[in-house]
Amino acid sequence: MNKKPQRPDRSAQKNTQDRGQKRSQGGKPGAVGSLASNSARSDHPQRNPPRGNVKPESVTTPVAETRRLITRKGELPRERVPVILESTGAGDFYLIDSGAGLKLEQYGPYRIVRPEAQALWQPGLPESVWENVDAIFTGDTDEDGMGRWRFPKAALGETWPMSLLDVDFLGRFTSFRHVGVFPEQIVHWSWVKEQAEKTDRPIKVLNLFGYTGVASLVAAAAGAEVTHVDASKKAIGWARENQALARLERAPIRWICEDAMKFILREERRGNQYDIILADPPKFGRGPNGEVFHLFEQLPLMLDVCREILSPKAIGLVLTAYSIRASFYSIHELMRETMRGAGGAVESGELVIREAGLNGREPARVLSTSLFSRWVRQ
């Protein structure tokens, strides 16, 4: 059996966008900084839902409105490092096995094989298990769309019902190997759920780069008022479908199809604030009007603006970063500097998923999925 699908070329070039800058309305202006200039190719799998994420060379339209970084004063927040947030799956998902550049996962009724560059070891389970699957992402054609999925047992529809943290949504075979949910995020979603449930008022949650909305739905189900922002009209459409499936049509969720940077800059000007902000930006992304998001260039400003739109009783600012060549310390120190004077603590590390075997109950090796850094009031 050849378990190694060909990987698409993900080489990245530095984008040439022009970032016009103007002074902020609050605090002292400082230099507009970049996190790093190195945007070299990453070996991590890219998350590329339709239209939202792009290679930087394809568009050079600037985000017109931007501002300088605020010079922060005061004590750095306490730090907790390294923090490894581990999930062994929950609800309808678990990682069965991994190895040889692949992972074998259970998503509801389906067993799925997808590329996983970080699985350098050999699979723990026999080939017969890896062959007895419902879907394989081949990535071995240049075609877009469902052509990249192979269904060895029977042709499958594009979607199927799933449930995580008691929220129903649709799993989905997308053209970019993704399945409509990033289950490693469940650790952050459980944290948001806990905060929403234990706070004696409806908290306001902003979910930036929200994709198919599972985090937004988990927060709304726990009583939060949610603002969900994503650049992809298609992803917002999927999120609304998920909202209906989760029977949360009446929950207070604003679905906003917009460039995340543009949105938060506007919220800052309007003085709108949130208790929890979740941000899961891609390394490169594009807003609906061609605005380029380049993580290494825009993350400092993004966090700076996010701090300004945290409410006085804010509970947390949660950042995940994936497919980047950086240590969690880069986002950790940036988060601490950004949150200077705010009290609380910054905890940073990795989100990992532990293999759980065929029955989902046999913990084995750990697969790293992304870096994270979060400021928490407590």
Q: Which residues lie near ligand SAM (CB under 6 A)?
A: 47, 49, 52-53, 181-182, 185, 209-212, 214-215, 229-232, 235, 259-260, 280, 282, 285-287, 291, 293
Strands 316-321 and 276-279: parallel
Residue 268 or 337 having the CB closest to ligand SAM: 268
Beta-carbon contacts of 9 under 8 Å, excluding residues fewer than 6 positions away, are none
DSSP letter at 45 equals: P
Residue among 59 and 76 whose Cβ is closer to ligand SAM: 59
Q: Least distance to ligand SAM from the beta carbon of 164, Å?
A: 10
C-alpha–C-alpha distance, residues 227 and 225, integer Å: 7
| 98/207 with CB nearer ligand SAM | 207
Q: Name which of 173 and 211 has its Cβ closer to ligand SAM.
A: 211
Q: Tell the smallest beta-carbon distance from residue 148 to ligand SAM (Å).
A: 18
Nearer to ligand SAM, 176 or 329 (CB): 176
CB of 314 to ligand SAM, least distance (A): 20
- 227 or 232, CB closer to ligand SAM? 232
Q: What amino acid occupies position 369?
A: T
* Token pair for 361: 């109950």
Q: Least distance in Å: CB of 180 to ligand SAM?
A: 8
Closest distance between ligand SAM and the C-beta of residue 93, in Å?
12
Listed in sequence order, the residues at least 6 apart from 270 whose beta carbon sits closer than 8 Å to its beta carbon are: none
Cβ closest to ligand SAM, residue 133 vs residue 218 = 218
Helices (H), the chain: 127-131, 186-198, 214-221, 233-245, 260-270, 295-308, 328-338
**Residue corresponding to tokens 């609050």:** 26
Taking the complex as a whole, the smallest distance from the CB of residue 208 to ligand SAM amounts, in Å, to 7
Compute the CA torsion angle 260, 261, 264, 265 (nearest 10 deg).
Answer: -150
CA-based torsion, 108, 189, 278, 200: positive or negative: positive
Cβ neighbours for 242, distance < 8 A, ≥ 6 positions apart: 168, 169, 170, 212, 213, 214, 217
Q: How far is the CB of 335 from ligand SAM (least distance, A)?
A: 17
* Sequence-ordered list of residues with C-beta below 8 angstroms from that of 126, at least 6 positions apart, any chain: none
330 in Cβ contact with 63 (< 8 Å): no
Rounded least distance, CB 222 to ligand SAM, Å? 16
Burial 220-237, CB ≥16 within 10 A → b, else e: bbbebbbbbbbbbeebbe
> Which residue type is seen at 107?
Y
Residue 94 neighbours by CB distance under 10 Å: 22
Q: How far apart are the first and last CA of the chain?
A: 51
- Give the residue nearest to ligand SAM (CB): 52
Smallest separation (angstroms) from ligand SAM to the CB of 254: 14
